[in-house]
A and B are shown apart, each in its own frame.
Chain A
Amino acid sequence: MPDAADLAAVRLTLELATVVTLLLLALGTPVAWWLARSRSPLRHAVGAIVALPLVLPPTVIGFYLLLLLGPNGPVGKLTEALGIGLLPFSFGGLVLASVCYSMPFVVQPLQNAFEAIGPRPLEVAATLRASPWDTFWSVVVPLARPGFLSGAVLGFAHTVGEFGVVLMIGGNIPNKTRVVSVQIYDHVDALEYAQAHWLAGGMLVFSFLVLLALYTLYPQAVRGRR
């Protein structure tokens, strides 16, 4: 049976994934909108930067984030000056790292959904007196719903499933940064296979169910992903 430490890790993981998913939707939506609509030559570079976590080992992301957020990094100096303290090895640092690492999983489905809408519904809405902001909420969001759903689900699931970045930025502090994937690693390291099974099997079933729901409800959203 999972013990208190396991349950604490599960709770922390769900908290982390929820906060990260909300942040990803808030930040990823304008980025995806800009990538879908802009004709700027910069859009290719921005698209590539957002997609980097897809190809880089998590350790590379973790390493640079550590330097950036550490006491000698520019962001670290800023957070200290603002009185927030240093982010590495804290829940906040874990959130920031997860947002960077899971960004492409939210931006890409959204960008595809926005591109699929095309310019015409936006023009129609404008001729019907809707401002751009009004149009975004009354036309774009409903039409891009499959993209929002699949982006949220993939962002959440990917945050739950990360390990490398968590270990490098968050470390392994119970109730603060010890998430399920790290807890499993500890169990395996200590040859506690039965406990590892509870968590690992739980993750397996969770991930399968999430993807099954997504593929069943919104096959077009998943197909639309690059």
Chain B
Amino acid sequence: MEQRLRARLRIDRGAFRLDVDLDLPQRGITALFGHSGSGKTTILRAIAGLERAPGGYVALGNDVWQDDAHGVFKPVHWRALGYVFQEASLFPHLSVRGNLEFGRKRVPAHARRFALEPVTDLLGIGALLDRRPDGLSGGERQRVAIARALLASPRLLLMDEPLAALDLKRKLEILPYLERMHEELAIPIIYVSHAPDEVARLADHLVLLDDGKVVASGALTETLARVDLPPSFADDAGVVLDTMLAGHEEDALSRLEFAGGALLVGRRREPIGTHLRCRIHARDVSLVLARPEHTSIVNRLPAVVTAVAATDTPGHVLVQLRIGASPLLARITERSRRELGIEPGLQLWAQIKGVALL
């Protein structure tokens, strides 16, 4: 049976109220996404036991961490979790090796899941072991913090905006390591972020939070394609497609296949067969009733309209489409919708002006 993370949490702090009931799959990366103040970090801290949610319930599979109805509350140090804070928070009195060993040596040998070396290799910190934390760059510190959390053999890794304190260059330095963790380690991760690009790039599962409440939860591609989200999320509407690099064209373009069609993008250097994730913004998609012939846009795909919804920008609507098994969103004016008669069920063509590879 599949293990799931259950968390029923209610916290009332006067102006801020959190009330969530999460049931998350225990594999892949689940992103908790929302604006600041939406309660993302509080949820993570309550799952870890760093914060008390009176009357709450938290269980990882059969392992109940908190069940106030039955007087159960496991202290943080008894929970098999890893926690990566926004600031690396390395212990300044220990070397990098001392930091890495801190959690590892507190786990009984038979319960350890990783040896030191594979983890330091995975995160590219093998050469830093004898350094002091204050001599490391921000990106290196955060990688050590992630390795430290992994070496405590967690069954669940909680990451609280691990990249938010870093500049863009450092972020881009760390993201590939996170992707490798995702591919190579069978540890479920809950990843808190308010950066859409990070979420689009890393997450498999998405929980959207607004003002202490869950507004949507589900597989990333399906959840991003919903048109009934609060307006504050619709500004940046767009879908994520999981594609595979299928081949190269003669004219320096590469073909990405996805469930329902194929896209052409600028020449990729990855080997054929590589999985690539790309993001298509709703504002980069235009709709045409007949097959477009005389256009400079190379990505033209047949699609079916599945839903139409208003946006918070007056005069604009969001159109949800399906291309085979994959969803797509287009943001067009209400006038165009009326003139073209766009309604659910209509077959038309989507022209995609930009594909962002993540």
Contacts and interface: CB of A to CB of B under 8 A. Distances in A.
A126 B106 contact: no
Contacts of A128: 77, 102-103, 106, 148-149, 152
Contacts of A131: 75, 77
Contacts of A125: 77, 91, 102
Contacts of B91: 121, 124-125, 139, 143
B107 A129 contact: yes
B199 interface: no
A126 B76 contact: yes
Nearest to B94: A142
Contacts of A138: 102
B89 A124 contact: yes
B150 to A, nearest CB: 11
Contacts of B107: 129
A126 B152 contact: no
Contacts of A127: 48, 50, 76-77, 81-83, 103, 149, 152
A120 interface: yes
A120 B84 CA distance: 12
A130 B103 CA distance: 8
A130 B48 CA distance: 14
Contacts of A192: none
Contact of A129 (B48, B50, B85, B152): B152
A126 B148 contact: no
A123 interface: yes
A134 B91 CA distance: 14
B89 A129 contact: no
Interface in B39-86: 48, 50, 75-77, 81-83, 85
A120 B89 CA distance: 7
Interface in B89-107: 89, 91-93, 102-103, 106-107
Interface string B200-234: 00000000000000000000000000000000000
Interface string A7-28: 0000000000000000000000
Contacts of B106: 128-130, 134
A134 B75 CA distance: 14
A77 B75 CA distance: 44
Interface string A160-193: 0000000000000000000000000000000000
A204 B65 CA distance: 60
A35 to B, nearest CB: 23
A216 to B, nearest CB: 21
A120 B85 contact: yes
* Best-surrounded residue of B83, B87, B91 (most CB of chain A within 10 A): B91
Interface in A81-127: 120-121, 123-127
Contacts of B149: 127-128
Interface of B: 48, 50, 75-77, 81-83, 85, 87, 89, 91-93, 102-103, 106-107, 148-149, 152
14 contacts: A120-B89, A121-B89, A126-B75, A126-B76, A127-B82, A127-B103, A127-B149, A127-B152, A128-B77, A128-B102, A128-B149, A130-B106, A139-B91, A142-B93
Q: 3 nearest interchain CB pairs?
A: A128-B103, A126-B76, A127-B83
